[in-house]
Amino acid sequence: MQQPPLTPFSLNLLLGRIAHEWETRRRIFDLPPARFWAADPSVDLSMEFMGRPAATPLGPAAGPHSQMAQNLVLGWLAGARLFELKTVQILDDLDIERPCIDMQNVGFNIEWSQELLVAESLEEYVKAWMMIEILRDWDPIKPHIGEEPGPHVFDMSVGYDLAGIQSEKVAGFIDSMMDATAVIDRLRPLIPEPFAAYRDHKFPTNVADSITVSTFHGCPPDEIEAIVKHLMDRHGVDVIVKLNPTLLGFPRVIQLLQQDLGYRDIWLDPLSFVDDLDITRGVELIGDLSRYAAKSGRRFGVKLTNTMVVHNDKKFLPADPMYMSGPPLHVLATALLDELLITMPGAFAVAGHDGPIQVSFSAGVTKENVGETIAMGVTPATLSSDLLRPGGYGRLEPMLRQLERDLQEGGARTLREWHELQWDEAKAAGYRGPAEAHLQATLDGDARANYDIAANEGVPRAVDHDLQMWDCVACNLCVTVCPNDAFFRLPTPVDSGLSARQQYIVLAELCNECGNCMVFCPENGDPAKIKAKIYVDQERFSGGSGQGFLITTADGILELEARDGSDGELPRLHEILADADEGIPLRLQDFGA
C-alpha cells in the first residue's frame, strides 16, 4: 500500500522536543530566540479579523506553513497571529505529484489542499492550539516573546464544492474545530513534563469559528454563493471568500504579467478564466453575500488572492497547469483590489471606504512591501512564498519590525492611523487611494525593481559538487526553507573523519518530499533523499524503501536499525546522533507515545 506523505508527531513527542531543544540548543523547532517576536510597546500592530482580535496583522496563508502542528507553532513564535489553516476538503487521500513546490525565483506549486486525512488535520490544528496556549505562558521563553504575546486567530479554510463541504467528514471537522472539547480531552494525557501541569488547564475549546472558502479549480459562482450561505446557516460561522486573480479578466492579466512586468515566458490558459468568476458576477456575488451576512448576523469578507493558474513550461514540477504565487501575483492582487474599490466604492472595510466587507490579502507579501501592503487597508496579510525562502519562518520577525518602523517613521501608533495617514498621502499625490499608489509604484516607480522579470529570474547559488549523505557545504538552507522543520543539524563529532562543521539529517515522517530544500541546496542532488533519513515510526519505516534508519530506545539507550543495505552507515550515524554534545533533538523517553 502507498504510504501517506506525512506522519505527524504525537503531542507528547512535540512538547518533549520543545523542552529538550530549548535545554540543549536554546531553540524551538530550530528557530533561534533572536527570531521570536515580542511586541514593541510604542507601536500597536493589533487588528480585528472579522471582529476577533489578533495582536499582529501577519501570518501564514493556507499552504505548507499551516498544515502541521509544529509549523503553526513556528509561525506563532515568529510573530504570526492570524493563521489561515491549510485547506481541508472531502478528498483527503489525493496523490499529489512530487516535487510540488518550486520557489527558485517567482514561485510555483502544484498543491491544492491538505495532505493529511481530515481527522489528522483536525488533530494537528488542535495540537498546535494547545501548544501555543502552553508556550504563551512558559517562563523560559518570556524574555523573548514578552509577558503578553497577545491574541491570535485560527481561521479554517475549506474547499472546493458544496457536496463535499456538506459531507459528514467536512461538517464534522468544522463542528469539532468550533468545539474541540473532545479532541483536547483526548490529547491532555499526552502532555509530558515539564508541561504536565497543563493536563488540567482550561484550554479554550473554540479553536476557530471563521472560514475562508477556497474557490480554486473553477468553483462556479452559484456554487460559491451556496457554500457561503450553507456555512453561515448550518455552522453559524463568519466567512471570507478567497478570490482568484482571474477576476481581473484575461486581457488585464496578460497586460500586467507579460507586457508591463515582462514575464513573457509565463503562459496563461484562457479557459481558466472562462470557468472562474468574472468581475460583473464577482461584484454581484460580493454584494449579495455581504447583504446575506448582515441579515444573518454574520460577517463577510474577501481575500485577495489565491494563486494564478499558468501553463507549466518549466517542467520542474511534474504537473500541468501549475499555480503562480510571489512577486507578480502581488501586482495582480493589488490591481484587483484597486479595481474592486473603484467598482464598489464604500463597500470594503479599508481606509477611505469604511464599508462592512473585510479585505484579507495574500500575494507576494515581503519585508520590502509589508508597509505598503498594510497601508492599502487590508488586514491581515498572509503569506506562503516568502516563508519558503532562506530564513523560512525567521523572516516573519524582521517583517514585523519593518512594519513597526514604517509606522513609527510615518508618525502612526496604530494600524488604523497608518491606513488613514497613507490614504491622505495618496489622495494628496492625486491617486484614488493607497491601492492605486502602490500599484503604480510596482509598475513604474522604484518598487518595480522588486516585481518585474529582471528582479525575478535569478537562481539560487550552486556549487558543482554531488551531494552525499555526510558532509556538504553546510549552509543550513535545508533547515530554514523546510516548512515542516523536517531537517535538523548536529555538530560533527571530533575525530569522525568528516570535514564539515555540521551534519544534516531528515526526520522522515515530517518530510513530504515537496522539493523546496532541493531547490535551494547549492550542491547537486535532493537533500531529502540523500541525507540520512531517520524514522521514529516502525510502520512507516518498514513500509518505505531506500536508505533509512529506525530509532528505538531500550532502557533509555538509543538503538538504530538500517533499511535496504544502509547498514554500513550505522556506526557513523550512531556516532553523530548519540555522541555529539547536543544529541538528537527528540527526547528518547517520548518515543512510541
Ligand X SMILES: Cc1cc2nc3c(=O)[nH]c(=O)nc-3n(C[C@H](O)[C@H](O)[C@H](O)COP(=O)(O)O)c2cc1C
Q: Select the span of 309-317, 381-389, 528-536, 572-580 touching ligand X (CB under 6 A).
A: 381-389
Q: Among 516, 549, 550, 573, which residue interacts with ligand SF4 (rule: CB under 6 A)?
A: 516
Which of ligand X, ligand SF4, none binds 79 (CB below 5-8 Å, type-dependent)? Answer: none
Q: Which of 349, 472, 580, 588 binds ligand SF4 (CB under 6 A)?
A: 472
If the CB atoms of residues 131 and 469 are measured against ligand SF4, the closer one turns out to be 469
Q: How far is the CB of 136 from ligand SF4 (least distance, A)?
A: 27
Site membership for ligand X, residue 86 (CB under 6 A): yes
Q: Which is nearer to ligand X, 39 or 156 (CB)?
A: 156
Q: What is the per-residue binding string for ligand SF4 in 97-126, x denoting contact by CB under 6 A? A: ------------------------------
- Binding string, residues 449-468; x marks residues near ligand SF4 by CB under 6 A: ------------------x-
C-alpha cell at 538: 516502525
- 395 contacts ligand X (rule: CB under 6 A): no
Closest distance between ligand SF4 and the C-beta of residue 524, in Å?
A: 10
> What angle, rounded to 10 degrees, do the helices at 415-428 and 396-410 form?
60
Is the separation of the CB atoms in 309 and 245 below 8 Å?
no
Q: Which residue has the cell 514578552?
A: 146
Closer to ligand X by Cβ: residue 101 or 472? 101
Report yes or no: 333 and 361 within 8 Å, Cβ to Cβ: yes
Q: Which residues of 528-555 are buried (b: 16+ CB within 10 A; e: fewer)?
A: bebbbbbbbbeebbeebeebbbbbbeee
348 binding ligand SF4? (CB under 6 A): no
Is residue 102 a contact point for ligand X (CB under 6 A)? Answer: no
Phi–psi pair at 438, nearest 5 degrees: -70, -40
Cβ contact 241:302 at 8 Å: yes
CB closer to ligand X, 113 vs 503: 113
Contact between residue 392 and residue 404 where contact means Cβ atoms under 8 Å apart = no
Angle between helices 279-296 and 327-343 (to 10 degrees): 70
CA atoms within 13 A on the CB side of 276: 25
DSSP 8: P
- 3-state per-residue secondary structure call for 106-136: CCEECCCCCCCCHHHHHHHHHHHHHHHHHHC
Does residue 490 contact residue 577 with C-beta atoms inside 8 Å?
A: yes
- What's the closest the beta carbon of residue 141 comes to ligand SF4, in angstroms? 24
How many residues sit close enough to ligand X to count as binding (CB under 6 A)? Answer: 28
Instruction: Find the shortest distance in angstroms from Cβ 113 to ligand SF4.
Output: 17
**Least CB distance to ligand X at residue 502 (A):** 27
Site residues (vs ligand X, CB under 6 A):
61-64, 86-87, 101, 107, 109, 111-113, 157, 214, 242, 306-307, 325-326, 329, 362-365, 383-386
